[in-house]
Structure 1
Amino acid sequence: MTSPTETETRAVTVLHAGQMDYTAAWARQRELGRMRSAGTIADTLMLVEHPHTYTFGSRPKPEQLLVPHETLAAQGVALVEADRGGDITYHGPGQIVGYPILKLSRYGGDVLRYLRMLEETIIAALAGYGIAGERIAGLTGVWVGGAKICAIGVKLSASGVTQHGFALNVNTDLRFFEQIIPCGIADRGVTSLERVLGSAPPRAEVEARVIAAFGRVFGAQME
């Protein structure tokens, strides 16, 4: 996929937020979205790691959660109804979560194209490890050997600013996906860099590859 054809230099600020509670990160996204809409900040890529959390999309389907709420409480797992697209997914330690806060008109303005660009970003980052990430027709996300390695779900605000984004499994505890129907897909598995490679590369290294790939795909200067 080629980068956008817009000629001016696009700057994207990378915000390393560390580990952050999902609801706190969601509030931070909304704040950044308001600031981006007002033009007081540049486009931003927020990178974060969440504690154990299941999130529903904007049209929650409770049957996709396969364990009772009491089990989640005992495990210390939060359950949140978010306003993104897509079905239930898991966030937790060992996962790189990226929230692009972008004025989408600068990148073509097409949400479906934007989803494909996010997928291309992850595919390019995985290629640096010799991993062939792929798309599956009719499904959103990035897959390796038929198992999902990166989930994607987004929202576009009324002012045309993106929120939510992608979750790439580095050394995530994949057992937490067994308690849900991930992204509403019952017949496909979930994987991670650790499982594919046999050992997990350093998180900072993976983040650097994702940032570089994002800059190439979106035609942006990452700052």
Structure 2
Amino acid sequence: MEFLVEDLGLLPYGEAWAYQKAVHREVVEGSRPPTLLLLEHPRVITLGRKATGENLLFPEGWYRENGFELYWVERGGDVTYHGPGQLVGYPIFPVGREVRRFLRQLEEAIVRVAAGYGIPAYPTPGYAGVWVGEEKLCAIGVAVKEGVSFHGFALNVNTDLNDFTVIVPCGLKGKGVTSLERLLGRRVPMEEAKDRVVQAFAQVFGMEPVRRKGHETQV
């Protein structure tokens, strides 16, 4: 079985959210194979189903006045940040009722990516995501509708970690965030990170990736 990989580059959150919904509808209808969207966002704060706003450190208007977009969305989890240098992945996959298993597979894929860089990362029971020590390397929050997932993961590659200081990330007080760049002491080429994520997804989900960038499709 194949899954389609679409590289959307840098895309504003609102546009990506609308595109996710369109792709989700096609996957539900069976007119499109399972699809992994890979992209980066301009600076944006998103709040999931568990969010009440208490983990925003400033009024909502402050974020918009200081260069952040802000969205309340239907994914799981609390508040998180997306921005340039962070690899966001939206796997729009049929999962049926096996949502918990799907979350563990997402975590395993990112753990494999980290291991490829020599980084001992791990998931934490009770909290979706991937950690290195007491710092989160990758946030995970999904939604499932009509048996098909959307939303997904945010892997800090070369992310400006200072931008996380304007929220309580994922609502977890006393925990930090980290990135591949910080852990390795060097910038990581984003294309390299994307390739490693695609390889890990292929291994964990047992599917063959078909890549699409723009209007080009490559196996």
TM-score relative to the length of structure 2: 0.93
Could you tell me whether the CA contact under 8 Å between 2:48 and 2:75 is conserved in 1? yes
Q: Which residue of 2 aligns with 1:173?
A: 160
SS of the equivalent of 1:12 reads strand
Q: Which residue of 2 aligns with 1:87?
A: 78
1:200 partner amino acid: R
SS of the equivalent of 1:141 reads strand
SS of the equivalent of 1:140 reads strand
Q: How does 1:157-172 map to 2 (within 5 A)?
A: 157=145, 159-172=146-159
Question: Which portions of structure 1, spanning 4 or more consecutive aligned residues, are displaced by more than 6 angstroms?
Answer: none
SS of the equivalent of 1:62 reads coil
Counterpart among 122, 134, 137 of residue 125 in structure 2:
137
| Alpha-carbon offset, residue 168 of structure 1 | 0.1
Q: Which residue of 1 aligns with 2:176?
A: 189
Counterpart among 164, 186, 205 of residue 218 in structure 1:
205
Distance 1:85 1:71 in 2: 24
| Alpha-carbon offset, residue 70 of structure 1 | 4.0
Counterpart among 41, 44, 47 of residue 56 in structure 1:
47
Q: How does 1:37-48 map to 2 (within 5 A)?
A: 37-48=28-39
Q: Deviations over 1:79-137 (max 9, x none)?
A: 100110100000000000000111114xxx41111100000000001111101111122
Equivalent pairs, count: 210
**Unaligned stretches of 5+ residues in structure 1:** 1-9
Which structure's residues are more often strand, by fraction? 2
Distance 1:147 1:128 in 2: 19
| Alpha-carbon offset, residue 67 of structure 1 | 1.8
**Residue 93 of structure 2 is aligned to residue 102 of structure 1:** yes
| Alpha-carbon offset, residue 61 of structure 1 | 1.4
Q: Which residue of 2 aligns with 1:113?
A: 101
1:145 partner amino acid: G
| Alpha-carbon offset, residue 71 of structure 1 | 3.0
After superposition, the CA RMSD in angstroms is 1.0
Distance 1:201 1:48 in 2: 15
Could you tell me whether the CA contact under 8 Å between 2:64 and 2:70 is conserved in 1? no
Distance 2:173 2:164 in 1: 11
**Unaligned stretches of 5+ residues in structure 2:** 211-219
Q: Which residue of 2 aligns with 1:16?
A: 7
Distance 2:48 2:60 in 1: 17
SS of the equivalent of 1:41 reads coil
| Alpha-carbon offset, residue 139 of structure 1 | 1.3
1:149 partner amino acid: L
Distance 2:61 2:76 in 1: 26
Q: Deviations over 1:44-86 (max 9, x none)?
A: 0000100000000024311100023343233210010011010
